[in-house]
Amino acid sequence: MLEGRPAPSPVASASPGVHQRAVASDRMSSAAVEPPEAGDAPPRYGPDDPERFINRELSWLDFNERVLALADDPTIPLLERAKFLAIFSQNLDEFFQVRVAGLLDQVAAGIRHRTFDGRTPTAQVREVAARARILVDREERLFLEKIAPELAANGIVLSSWEELDDDDRVHMVGVFEDRIFPVLTPLAVDPGHPFPYISNLSLNLALTVRDPVTDERRFARVKVPSLLPRFVVMPDGERFVPLEQVIAAHLDQLFPGMVVEEHVAFRVTRNADLTLEEEEADDLLAAVEMELRRRRFGRAVRLEVDARASSEVRELLMRELDVDEHATFDHVGPLDLGGLWAVHALDRPDLQDEPWPPVTPRRLSAPEGEKFDIFKAISDGDILVHHPYDSFATSVEELIHRASRDPKVLAIKIALYRTSGDSPIVRSLIRAAERGKQVAALVELKARFDEANNIEWAKLLEEAGVHVTYGLLGLKTHSKVVLVVRDEPQGMMRYCHIGTGNYNSKTATLYEDLGLLTCSPALGADLTQLFNYLTGYGRNVRYRNLLVAPHTLRPGIVDLIQGEIEAGPERGRIIMKMNSLVDPQMIDHLYEASRAGIEIDLIIRGICCLRPGIPGLSETIRVRSIVGRYLEHSRIFWFANGADGAPLVAFGSADLMPRNLDRRVESTVTITDPVIEAQVREVLDVNLADDTLAWTLSADGSWEPIKGEGSVHAHERFRAMALARTRRLEVED
């Protein structure tokens, strides 16, 4: 037997390897709810039946399946399909680190409380494991049977060590000795060397080595360095060999004189959620830094292992990492396909999306030869920007950049939830503070997986003299707002930006978002109140054009839904676009509106716990999802009678989830400019007309792609609209 801790009672009796995975997959998938046969009547659920809701975790897995479907779409360029495989893999990593980890914590604590859809934590863990296993199997088949062969046919070969010829191997020996071997640390397990700590999401090799003299066998582990590229590139620049295979081919140098009997790759996912007792933390910055260090030692929630692993090695890993069969995933393909980002980065325009550089709307640029004044442009009328089609750099970043240099600007205030590693906005804030302007930045330290980045920026901002605060006790600040105060001849002017996306120059090129640039006195007063609330103290803050969570957003949306019910089925209409719809109370209000005959269209990119099309409950509700080239990220709410019988449109930072409505500071702006309202409504109309990217949700919880003629492609249409805005304005000028 290999050395390790004494084995506890067996977790499962199934044999390991490929056969075990197939048996487990079949066993677990049978536990999932089978969708009704085609043509079956829609299910009927009463207003108090928990089955009227779709489970949150299973709905998220459905979303990730829609991402996976993009990797299987032959109409998408090949390297983009490889990118979607990488996104799918990384999405699943985060899901296990946070959502599954939370469920396992509940199981360990003996919690049996049922979710609003009627499931216990234990039931959710089992269903999630079964569903995730099916998706991982599909991901591997897609990679091995389609993506990898098609890449090879196009000159991008993901080679194994066995496929290399003698000259290739000579080259790889040099690479190993020069760049890889010096950073490797073999760790053996024996009475003097306990089982090593396996860090979160690290790729590792598990080995059994035998001493040919004593015939003693030991387990050993070699960590694949994360700082080295995931794939080693051959001199021709077209072939890639997984780093772990290069290491495995040279194990004799790590264990000289030993016989390596077995080596397999494995990977561990750990609980990575933060647990903060804010009431007991005198210094939130120090508390978050401490929790980030603790995160490294979170409980193991998933074990991924090469399907060729022997039962001995597999059981030892499960035992030492304290995971069971539900949390153990056997892989026949490479582990961590998130490494395909390196392949996507190749310079192969023939296999990638056509570049769509963002445009600058004419309102945000000056005629040739003239100096552009962004403050005059905003004072001439509100401006809507639609990223990534409209440039983030020449709109939002330009506002803050100009404000940092303009001697008339007295103050800049901003809420930062996530920002990029090399942030032009943060540099502008530092410059403004150094020039003596009043600069206040609310930096949300608890932005998941961006905590370390935000801590670094917070320290730099404080050193420059920026007034940095970290939000309110017990709440995350998720608002996307900027306020610039400028001294002008007519008095103090307040220039505002409020949006749906983060102040992050990188994600602004990848995420679809809306932003409003305005000097509206009413909105300026609202943002002044909001920032005073965030940085100071206050109760019963009143706003004119903002709905702010956790105080006015929930009741405000409920009132708007009730207003449509009162308007009646002939005049009532609701359209909502968001990332996720989870809140059971909000869903029940939408069900109530549907029972009143109100037509409702929901555009939900990710999680949707509402069941549409159920007789007597939701038969007037339609749900669609758009997943494609850009991550649909904007949150928009449209009510046909929301403004005293006239349409009302609002957009902002909040999804309809309990955390957004009750545990975060969120800002949603109601639009008063009819031109901006029409532009936002056009965004909704394109989403509703799309018959290329869209999926629809059925009453049974299944998602199906819309089988249209492909006449409307939302992302292409938005690109064309952005170009048309610049040309139209040029003609007008």
- The amino acid that residue 548 corresponds to is V
262-276, 517-531, 652-666: least confidently modelled range:
262-276
Give pLDDT, residue 443: 81
What is the tens place of the pLDDT at every residue in 613-648?
999 999 999 999 999 999 999 999 999 999 888 999
Hey, what domains does the chain have and what are their CATH numbers?
25-33+42-154+338-355 (1.20.58.310), 161-323 (3.30.1840.10), 362-535 (3.30.870.10), 546-732 (3.30.870.10)
Average pLDDT, the chain: 87
Using an 8 Å Cβ cutoff, are 244 and 174 in contact? no
Catalytic residue, candidates 326, 386, 478, 589: 478
Using an 8 Å Cβ cutoff, are 330 and 21 in contact? yes
CA trace torsion 142, 145, 148, 152 (10° rounding): -150
Rounded Cα distance, 679 and 301, in Å: 45
Give pLDDT, residue 421: 64
Give pLDDT, residue 117: 94
Mean pLDDT of 43-65: 92
What is the tens place of the pLDDT at every residue in 79-130?
999 999 999 999 999 999 989 998 998 888 888 899 999 999 999 999 999 9
Give pLDDT, residue 43: 77
User: Model confidence at 422, in pLDDT bands (50, 70, 90)?
Assistant: confident
Give pLDDT, residue 119: 95
Rounded Cα distance, 106 and 58, in Å: 17
Higher pLDDT, 253 or 274: 253
Q: What is the maximum span of the chain, computed from C-alpha positions, in angstroms?
A: 92
DSSP state of 605: S
Give pLDDT, residue 48: 85
Using an 8 Å Cβ cutoff, are 124 and 55 in contact? yes
128-142, 285-299, 486-500: least confidently modelled range:
285-299
DSSP 454-504: HHHHHHHHHHTT-EEE---TT-EE---EEEEEEEETTEEEEEEEEESS-S-
Higher pLDDT, 39 or 532: 532
Let me know if 467 is a catalytic residue: no
What is the tens place of the pLDDT at every residue in 181-198?
999 999 988 766 788 889
Neighbours of 17 (CB within 10 A): 18
Rounded Cα distance, 313 and 219, in Å: 8
Give pLDDT, residue 451: 57
> Which of 332-336, 364-368, 445-449: highest mean pLDDT?
332-336
Angle between helices 553-567 and 584-595 (to 10 degrees): 10
Kindly state the percentage of the chain with pLDDT values over 70.
87
Give pLDDT, residue 41: 72
- Give the burial class of 633: count Cβ atoms within 10 A of its Cβ; 0-12 exposed, 13-18 middle, 19 or more buried: buried
Rounded Cα distance, 128 and 561, in Å: 33
Give pLDDT, residue 446: 57
Mean pLDDT of 705-725: 92
| pLDDT higher than 50, residue 9 | no
User: Model confidence at 566, in pLDDT bands (50, 70, 90)?
Assistant: very high
Let me know the angle formed at the C-alpha of 635 by 631 and 637, rounded to the nearest 5 degrees. Answer: 145
With b for 16 or more beta-carbon neighbours within 10 A and e for fewer, the 395-427 pattern comes to bbbbbbbbbbebeebebbbbbbbbbbeebbbbb
Residue 331 three-state SS: strand
